[in-house]
Amino acid sequence: MILSLFTLIRMRWALCVCLGFCTISSSVWSADFHLGEEMPMEQIRGYGLLQDKEGSLDPNAVVSGNLDDKFVSSDRRLTSLGITDDGWWIRFAVENAEPEELPFVVHYPFPMVDLVDFYLVDDGKVVDVVKQGEKRPRSEEAIGIEGYGVEFMVPGDSQRVVYMRIQNPLSDVLDSYFEVGSPEAFEQEKHWISIFLGFILGGGIIILIYNAVIWAVVREQIYGWYVAYLALALLTFSVVSGFWHHFIWVHQGFLSEALPPLLSSLTFVFLIQFSRHFLLTHQLLPRIDRIMKWGMFSLLLPPILFFSGYSGAAARTAMIFVLVLNILPVLGIYLWRKGNQVAKIYAVSWAIWVAAICGLSGRALGWFPTNDFTLRLGWLGIWGEAVLFALALVARIRILQQEKLAAEARAKSFLEQSKTELEQLVTERTRDLENKRYELEVLNGEKDKFFSIIAHDLRNPFRGIFSLSEILAEDWRNLPPEELQSSLDELHDGAERLNRLLENLLSWAQLQKGSLQIKPQEFPLEPSLRSCVELFRGMADQKQIQLNLFVEPGLVVLADEPALETVIRNLLNNALKYSEAEGKVEVSAERRGASVVIEVKDSGVGMEESKVKTLLTLGEQESTPGTSGEQGSGLGLLLCKELVTLQSGRLAVKSEIGRGTRFTVELPAPGKE
């Protein structure tokens, strides 16, 4: 039931076509009006028009014919005289060519004009006069439900002149449009006008009650604002159409004059207030919302001007405000294009109303012609808007219900998704906790093993040093020089082993804390390897082991020199420790492609394959005594592995029972091959 924007555009074109059609369909009379037995109500053109500045002319001077030469023939299609406080005289002649007397009716369909006087004149003498208007007693209004009218009689074979005087002394819209026809045609027209106004007003009241019931049920403030607006709009049009004064409220002077500007301003105030709530401008368009608030206050200007005595300025200001209200459907279209479906309802509904009000104001300002259609355009607009908006409010409820259901569905989906995600999160967290627990167990086991290695490997050097120092302290004077020297050598070896163990422990601790800085750089490899070999030369000679070094000439490596020397020292110590007397330990280094390969190979006891696989794991590491009973650090090989890895290298081990062990250190070579 909601119109599309395309439909709205077509309706506006249809409105323009109707305006043109109604203008063309009106009959045009010029010069004299010829009476007949069956005369339809027709608009007269070609009548005389005389401006009476501020109503200063003497009516007797006008109707006597002395000023007939001052009248200007008016054949204008646009009959509006604008907003003025001047009086205007209209003159036209009627001719009865029939032998019998014929009646005719002059109808002036503007109920808010203050003074409307009709004079029937025969050869400069007033035959009949009827004075009507908004400021005149209702008893003078013998006929008419919309505006004012009078019935005159013209004898057979004679001619009469009709003078009409119209004026708004307090300044308001004035129009020279009027109709002439037979009493029967006027009664028929009055009948249809009564039906039309009754249908419009009755339908509007029914729609008002309908919306009031909706307001009472849903208790939404927005419906309250709309009910207030619609009630004021119906009341305003009842007043300005004369319907109110004819049937409900007898003219009360100044109060009746003040009602139109006051009611119209209040109507527009409630219209803007309703629009603010309907379009949610305070949320979607806060700047526009502030402008609309100021607009509501400025709409009180017309009644203020009227009560201050500036009725003309009040009427003009009201017309300007009516034109400014065109922004409301434009605002609705803007929000509609932004995806607000409720704004679509608003734009379509109010476009009809604004188009009608603009047409009504355009007629009053002389932009559109006056005819049966434009005279009642305001009623058509308010009725069309009320019907459309009644349907629109129902559609709004449906949309809100759909949005509520959609929101509930989204909330349910969100809850289900959140539940699933929470369950997944709990599962992941549980798995993480299990992994952490396992890692903690592994770390705890490694810690226990680490302390076990420390306790085992530290105990033997300390025990040897303590025993030898105790013997030397008690009986060193009685010992032969050879035995004394041997004891001192053993004491020195024990201290040296203890020193290496402590160095490994310190390096290991730094690695675990991440405080050991590894800075790889290029350096010649042969001097570094030779210093390590010479450091263990005495240990090799003592065990009668042949210790050899083979380095490719000019070989350069990219590594951290102190860390690499620590690795080589540990590997040499390990090789000499597990080599038999008269065995052989060989250190070699060469470049292979983009790597420098260092090998420490011994001819010692070797290891089983299962031992090789777990050799570099702390949890499986064991400190095994050497071939001469040497006690080693179980951390040495682990330290080697970590130091090599930190230098972007790789440590590999290969061993066989009875055939010795070979450790291979692979490090990056600088530059290209």
Give one DSSP letter per residue of 433-481, joined into a string.
Answer: HHHHHHHHHHHHHHHHHHHHHHHHHHHHHHHHHHHHHHHHHHHTTTS-H
Q: Please check whether residue 214 lies inside any domain of the structure.
A: no
- pLDDT value at position 324? 77
- Give the position of tokens 């604004």: 354
Q: Is the pLDDT of residue 532 over 50?
A: yes
* The CA-based dihedral angle spanning residues 4, 6, 10, 16, taken in that order and rounded to the nearest 10 degrees: 100
Cβ contacts of residue 554 below 8 Å, gap of 6+?
A: 524
> pTM higher than 0.75 for the full model?
no
Mean pLDDT score, 1-26: 36
Q: Is the pLDDT of residue 29 over 70?
A: no
Please, what sign has the CA dihedral across residues 635, 637, 642, 643? positive
What DSSP state is assigned to residue 619? G
Please, what sign has the CA dihedral across residues 239, 243, 246, 248? negative
CATH number, domain of 613, equals 3.30.565.10
- Give the position of tokens 């004299």: 32
Q: Among candidates 5, 12, 7, which has minimal Cα distance to 353?
A: 12
- pLDDT value at position 26? 37
Q: Let me know: does 563 contact 523? Beta carbons within 8 Å.
A: no
Q: Which residue has the higher pLDDT, 499 or 406?
A: 406
Q: Can you state the angle between helices 254-279 and 311-324, rounded to 10 degrees?
A: 20
Q: Is the pLDDT of residue 19 over 50?
A: no
Mean pLDDT score, 606-620: 72
Which residue among 136, 151, 181 closes a domain? 181
Q: Please check whether residue 102 lies inside any domain of the structure.
A: yes
Mean pLDDT score, 110-127: 90
Q: Is the pLDDT of residue 4 over 50?
A: no
Cβ contacts of residue 163 below 8 Å, gap of 6+?
A: 62, 63, 89, 90, 91, 118, 119, 121
Q: Let me know: does 335 contact 283? Beta carbons within 8 Å.
A: no
Q: Is the pLDDT of residue 631 over 50?
A: no
- The parent domain of residue 626 ranges over 521-668
Which residues is 129 bridged to in the sheet?
A: 119
* The CA-based dihedral angle spanning residues 106, 108, 109, 115, taken in that order and rounded to the nearest 10 degrees: -140
Q: Please check whether residue 22 lies inside any domain of the structure.
A: no
Which residue among 144, 164, 181 closes a domain? 181
For residue 83, the SS3 value is strand
**Looking at 51-60, 433-442, 462-471, 664-673, which range is the least confident one?**
462-471
Q: Among candidates 652, 646, 600, 621, which has minimal Cα distance to 507?
A: 646
178-230 confidence digits (pLDDT tens): 999 999 988 888 888 878 877 887 888 888 888 888 888 878 888 888 889 88
- pLDDT value at position 459? 60
Q: Among candidates 299, 243, 239, which has minimal Cα distance to 272?
A: 299
Phi and psi (nearest 5°) for 552? -60, 130
- pLDDT value at position 23? 38
**Looking at 21-35, 267-281, 615-629, which range is the least confident one?**
21-35
As a whole number, the mean pLDDT across the chain is 79
Distance, CA of 514 to chain centre: 50
Q: Which two structure tokens, joined as six digits, stand for 484? A: 């004394």
Q: Please check whether residue 652 lies inside any domain of the structure.
A: yes
CB atoms within 10 A of CB 420: 10
145-185 confidence digits (pLDDT tens): 678 889 999 999 999 999 999 998 888 889 999 999 999 98
Mean pLDDT score, 515-529: 86
Q: Among candidates 384, 392, 393, which has minimal Cα distance to 14?
A: 384
User: What Cα–Cα distance (Å) separates residue 180 from each residue in 80, 98, 107, 120, 200?
Assistant: 18, 18, 6, 14, 26
Which residue among 181, 204, 230 closes a domain? 181
- pLDDT value at position 24? 35
Number of H helices, E strands in the chain: 20, 20
Q: Please check whether residue 236 lies inside any domain of the structure.
A: no
482-492 confidence digits (pLDDT tens): 767 766 776 77
CB atoms within 10 A of CB 459: 11
User: What Cα–Cα distance (Å) separates residue 364 from each residue in 194, 375, 512?
Assistant: 23, 10, 94
Q: Please check whether residue 471 lies inside any domain of the structure.
A: no
- pLDDT value at position 5? 32
Provide the pLDDT confidence category of residue 93 given band limits of 50, 70 and 90.
very high
Q: Please check whether residue 221 lies inside any domain of the structure.
A: no
pLDDT above 90 coverage of the chain, percent:
19
C-alpha to C-alpha distance for 592 and 666, rounded to whole angstroms: 9
Number of domains the chain contains = 2
Q: Catalogue the E-assigned strands of 109-224.
A: 115-122, 125-132, 148-154, 158-167, 172-175, 179-181
Cβ contacts of residue 562 below 8 Å, gap of 6+?
A: none
Q: Which residue has the higher pLDDT, 454 or 149?
A: 149
**Looking at 371-375, 446-450, 475-479, which range is the least confident one?**
446-450
Q: Please check whether residue 402 lies inside any domain of the structure.
A: no
Q: Catalogue the E-assigned strands of 4-101.
A: 33-34, 42-43, 47-52, 72-74, 80-84, 87-96
Cβ contacts of residue 357 below 8 Å, gap of 6+?
A: 322, 325, 378, 381
Q: Let me know: does 457 contact 633? Beta carbons within 8 Å.
A: yes
Q: How many residues does the chain have?
A: 673
C-alpha radius of gyration, the chain, whole number = 57
C-alpha to C-alpha distance for 273 and 292, rounded to whole angstroms: 8
DSSP 105-119: EEEE--TT-SEEEEE
C-alpha to C-alpha distance for 568 and 565, rounded to whole angstroms: 5
